[in-house]
Structure 1
Amino acid sequence: MAPEDVLGSERGTGGCLKEYGQTGQCLPSVPPSQAEHVSQMLAAGQDPSAMTHPYRCTEVRTMFATGLIVRVSGVDPQGLDRNGDGVACGRGDGDA
């Protein structure tokens, strides 16, 4: 997914997770499956950052079929690179 697909769109509720992807790739900070819920929180005046928005690899792979790089080795706040090979939701990561 490209940053322009997320920023300024209904699907994008907070930008991209900077820890993942190569230049030009964007893992939305809120998983698409949770975007409607976050939009409802915002509309109700609630702070969505008060709750976590965890990804599962099945959802990541709908955007990045073979996974995407972890930009800094060992910095994987979503826990998507279970085997530590530097690719979040790549081969061997199961459904983290």
Structure 2
Amino acid sequence: MLSPENSADALNKESRTDTVNLNDNDNDNDIRIEISDAISEKDKVKFTVYTKITSPIFQESEFSVTRLHEEFIWLHDRCNENEEYAGLIVSVDRLFH
């Protein structure tokens, strides 16, 4: 029997979590972002984006926002229009197919 940490759900959740160090020399300036599983509501697909920041420059250390799938697609498309940002955001369709 699989333990919870080895289950497919745990692996999928792990693949949608990332930590970014804002300063290569300082481990106290991390941003951790987790994107929840998709929730369908009528004709919309929603995700909750949870953010945890360890840098003291931010007023809040944790917050979350709800975003629609189409907003991720819009952001992806806008980033790809600029060579400097192209490839920074991977299409959601590529992640789940």
Larger RCO: 1 or 2 (CA < 8 Å, sep 6+): 1
- TM-score with structure 2 setting the length: 0.26
**Which has the higher Rg, Structure 1 or Structure 2?**
2
TM-score (structure 1 length as normaliser): 0.27
Considering fraction of residues, name the structure with more strand. Answer: 2
